[in-house]
Structure 1
Amino acid sequence: MGVDTAPRVLEAPAKSTVVDDAAPAEAIAFEHDLSFADAVKLYPAAIGWSAFVSTGVIMLAFDPQLLGNLYATPQFQKDFGHEFQGAYTISAAWQTALGMGNPIGQVVGALLAGYPMDLFGRKYTFFACVGLTACLIFIQFFARSLVTLLVGELLGGLVLGCFVVIAPTYASEVCPMAIRGHLTSYVNLCFVMGQLLANGVTAGTSKLHNHWAYSLPFALQWFWCAIIIPGMFFVPESPWWLVRKGRLEDAEATLHRLASTKVNISATLAAIRETDRLERELETGSTYWDCFKGSNLRRTEISIGVYTTQVLSGIYLVNYGTYFFTLAGLDTDNAFYMGIGFLAVGFVGTIISWFEIVRFGRRRIYNTGLAVLMVLMFVIGVLDSIPGRPSGVQWAESALMLVWNFAYDLSVGPICFVIISEVSATRVRSKSIAVATAAQAIAGIVMTVAIPYLISPEQANLQGKLGYFFGGLALLCLAWAWFRLPETMGRTYEELDILFDRKVPARRFKSYYVEGVPGDER
């Protein structure tokens, strides 16, 4: 069924008699009128708990970055590698196998996370994942062979993969629309912090001449467990999950914990109930199969598309950043320092993106950033193709990778988590994010197999020519995003349900308005 563009108006379905008409209307008007500054003042607890739950993502990001850096650590190379041309190295085959642990774990862990999140809630699923992670770190810490380390990476990745589903789901369900983008994009900052900490730790331990050069970095993963475990008992449950379970009194009590006394909790609860009613009326469903039915198919496609674009545009090079810099011609110390700088600019980029989020739309930020990433990758490829590779090219390529990472964490990195949290229907949000995470991880598995062979001196030895490969993939992703990525900024979940149900084209999402929605003056 096509979209009637004249007049460009969407009529909301009739209200249910179960909830008072005035209460949801008041909450929706409040959401549209709420500024970022006021939201920060009225929802400090929601911001704090959302950031707390996102801490699990730091552990998720720390592990693969740590492993990628250890490939450039002399003691790790000596204890786990073999001699090649007078130096020790880890074979591409073993780099591939070890690198598989995290992405395979994300595929399985993400899909499995959807079930306990719906059955037991976000809080207790988070609780279980942190406890299991604390236990599985022992395998990595005591590993003295590649086989044992592989087992630890696979099992650890299985649990760590759940965090990337839990964090954006929880953030999107405890915060108002005015700060929804900031707290879901904070997930990307947690990725950067985990990677940055891994680089800092390995830079400090890389000069050790015993097993502590790699055992100490593995042990530091317990630090995050020690921070999270005491606070897990006090995490508020998602009010959206409680409403779907019919626990309205518990949902109201949770909303009181998350918001200031100045917020009309009854109206907020009524709006949540109304959105849930609308999705049941639209037959949104709540199973994995429902993610691929009706309007949910398009919503799942968008989630998968923006998430896999992260991999296809070149982000998996970050995990091999230090190794890439050593192959580019930098010595070990400079490579580690460059790796730290690489992620430091990413940290700054994500912070700056929070100012963009309140001024520009998700679509504009994402597409513009992706175009910049594509151009930078092609430039890196061209530089590496200069005959004779003149002196200074390795520093130029490394500097451009710094710029690339800044642009990524200014756009595609953080905005992805905002989009996947907003385009998914609330009844299948955890499962939709899980499917997108699994798809991204599958793409990650492909890159985990390919990258070691593409950059290894024993194999293709492409070095900076990888820019052509990732630049080409980014071009394809940009073409898809231009036609399929809608603007979701400033929309309540009920409005988004209606827009997707009416099959509004992606490029017209921003200008359409839902008739009768208070505060929507499009």
Structure 2
Amino acid sequence: MSNPADSKSPGGGGDVAEVEKATTNIDHSADLDEKAKLSAYKADAIEAENSELNMGVWEAVKLYPMATFWAFVMSTTIIMESYCVFLMGAFVAMDVFKRDFGVPDPKDPSQYAIEASWQSALQASGPLGALIGVCIAGPITSRIGYRWATISGLMCLNGFIFVFYFAPSMAVMFVSQLLEGIPWGIFIANAPAYCSEIVPIKLRAPATQMLQMFWAIGSIIVGGVCYVYQDKNDPSAYRIPIALQWMFPTPLAILLFLAPESPWWLVRKGRLEEAAKSVRRLGRASVLTNLDESVAMMRRTIDLEKSDKEPSLIELFKGTDLYRTLIVCGVYAAQNLTGNLIANQAVYFFRQAGMDSTTAFALGLITSALQTIFVMLSWILTTYLGRRTIYVWGSLINVCFLVALGIAGSVGKSNAASLAQASLGLIVSVGFTLGPAPASWVIIGETSAIRLRPLTTGIGRAAYYIVNIPCIFLATYMLNPTGVDLGGRCGYVWGATGFVCFVVAWIWLPEMKGRSYREIDILFKRKVQARKWTKTPVDINDDA
């Protein structure tokens, strides 16, 4: 006869069974809790994504006014690069600068010209420095964030402007531009990524396209300043425009110190509470009642990448990330091959087309003003027609005008031919800012994987400079009287390169209009053909 106490003794089998049963119940309960949490987290993510997808443009502006403002502030950093790029283009067309640093013009010994080699070197030195800047921007930003990386660049720029202002020779100017280029690289790598991350889906196009608008505004400021000072007969004609660069870095650094960090960057770092605070600061607190949903959407997208490692450059060239990297690099590099260099050297081009100094600077100012207006028009076109549509067909239209420019430069020397070349040069410069240029910023901001975005935008801009630097030498050699002096016939060269860019974009560039970052990730992983993206649905519940 068994003793009932045996089943309750420390060594009895009954207690073991009960303990095992209790443990199983606890584990099962824990599993249910974990599943419930995951289900709730995914439901929040889906709710936030649906909300953004169904949001109209004006509704997005009303809900996220501060996101729009901070994107505006970050975009303003591009003025620094634009200002200096166009400044060097204006200096080589300025009579006082040519007299102080140039040689007698072979076509007219009573006039002066900057030697083609020095002209190319001055205009390539900034991009060389920027190439260094974009290479260090990705690792720095991945570690300390967009705000502090950009603020550091702004403070360095303040010091480098001193070198440029007091430069006594072309060699020192070259070094100063090289140094200034390093912070430019940080700004240009960070700005499109930050702007695309802090705004909702429907505002990604206008937010990133503001970069092109501020590029045009930089050229307007240069055009206005140089138009006023180009008639002066002393070094203040070019020293004052250099000194005016100090207007920008310190005020922008103060504003960015007050700005919120990208919530996507904070989520990548696991700082979820700070990400929620950042989302609150970007929108209207009275409306954004459930911040957890927005953070959950970000977590869901980032979890698709399934990696706890620190981002590395090697990852950019593996698997589907290679395709995404090539798109960003290709779109960046193509900016040099579809009319951008004519836009950047507009004043010099007008001088070579036969315009006098005052008229050339006035036309340059008009070109810059029109570029600003056309960039704002492109906000509407890109938002409603799509990125691929505007980029691809805008490139083809620009190719047609470049060929027309080449024809105008081939008909011989006459007043009518000079006017035709100047007019077509203006159309190419303005047309570039309506189609390929602003659309490219949106594509760059949307294409890369979230985790790799700072690195991808940095490498993409590096590709831009790698193509830009030899193209600067080529463009200068084609236009300069000490080179081959092609004038408008350079349109044939840029028309040919632009046509190649059009074909490549038509084959490989997908349409990302109206897609969440989760959908973009999934479509890349599924290897959907670029021209079929618009017809390929992605279910809101899909994670792969």
- How far does residue 211 in structure 1 lie from its aligned partner after superposition? 1.1
Counterpart of 1:345, as a letter, is L
Provide Cα deviations, 1:57-115, integer angstroms capped at 9, x if missing partner.
00111001101101111111111112232211110111111111121122111111011
Q: Match for residue 420 of structure 2?
A: 396
> 1:434, 1:15 → 2: CA distance?
40
Q: Among 23, 27, 31, which residue is 2:44 paired with?
A: 23
Alpha carbons of 1:313 and 1:284: their partners in 2 closer, same or farther (altered >3 Å)? Answer: farther
Q: CA deviation at 1:133?
A: 0.6
Matched, 1:444 2:468: yes
Correspondences of 1:16-415 after superposition (within 5 Å): 17=38, 20-84=41-105, 85-261=109-285, 262-263=287-288, 264-280=290-306, 286-386=311-411, 388-415=412-439
Structure 2 contact 339–428 (Cα < 8 Å) conserved: no
Deviations 1:107-163 (A, max 9, x none): 111111011101101110011011011111001111121111111000011111211
**Aligned match for 2:505, one of 463, 466, 481:** 481
* Alpha-carbon distance in 2 for matches of 1:464, 1:395: 11
- Count residues in correspondence: 503
Give the RMSD, CA atoms, in angstroms. Answer: 1.7
After superposition, the Cα gap between the structure-2 partners of 1:199 and 1:517, relative to the gap in structure 1 and judged at 3 Å, is farther
Tell me the amino acid that sits aligned with residue 136 of structure 1: F
1:509 matched to 2:533: yes
Aligned to 2:479: 455
Matched residue type, 1:292? F
Cα pair distance change 1:284/1:341, threshold 3 Å: farther
- Equivalent position of 1:6 in the other structure: none
Cα distance between partner residues in 2 of 1:19 and 1:76: 66
Superposed displacement of residue 284, structure 1? 9.8
Give the distance between the partners of 2:152 and 2:250, measured in 1 at CA. Answer: 14
1:285 CA displacement: 7.2
Structure 1 residue 15 displacement after superposition: 11
**Equivalent residues of 1:105, 1:157 under 8 A apart:** yes
Structure 1 residues 5-20: aligned runs within 5 Å: 17=38, 20=41
Partner of 2:8: none
1:188 Cα offset (Å)? 0.9
Query: How has the CA–CA distance of structure 1 residues 197 and 230 changed in structure 2, closer, same or farther, with 3 Å as cutoff?
Result: same
Return the letter of the residue paired with 2:458.
Answer: A
Q: Give me the whole-angstrom Cα distance separating, in 2, the residues matched to 1:510 and 1:66.
A: 42
Q: Distance in 2 between matches of 1:452 and 1:24?
A: 52
Greater Cα shift, 230-239 or 485-494: 230-239
How far residue 412 of structure 1 moved from its aligned partner, in angstroms, is: 0.5
Contact 2:339 2:432 in 1 (8 A): no
2: CA distance, partners of 1:454 / 1:404: 17
2:112 alignment partner, SS class: strand
Q: Structure 2: how far apart are the matches of 1:397 and 1:424?
A: 39
TM-score by length of 1: 0.94
- The alpha-carbon deviation at position 449 of structure 1 amounts to 1.4
Higher RCO (CA 8 Å, separation ≥ 6 residues): 1
User: C-alpha distance in 1, partners of 2:397/2:541?
Assistant: 37
The CA deviation at 1:391 is: 2.5
Which blocks of at least 5 consecutive residues in structure 2 are unaligned?
1-34
Tell me how far apart the structure 2 counterparts of residues 45 and 332 of structure 1 sit (CA, whole Å).
Answer: 43
Range moving further from structure 2, 444-453 or 484-493 = 444-453
- Select the structure of larger CA radius of gyration: 2
**Pair 1:226–1:128, CA change in 2 (3 A):** closer
Alignment-mate amino acid for residue 258 of structure 1: L
- With normalisation by structure 2, the TM-score equals 0.90
Counterpart AA for 1:103: P
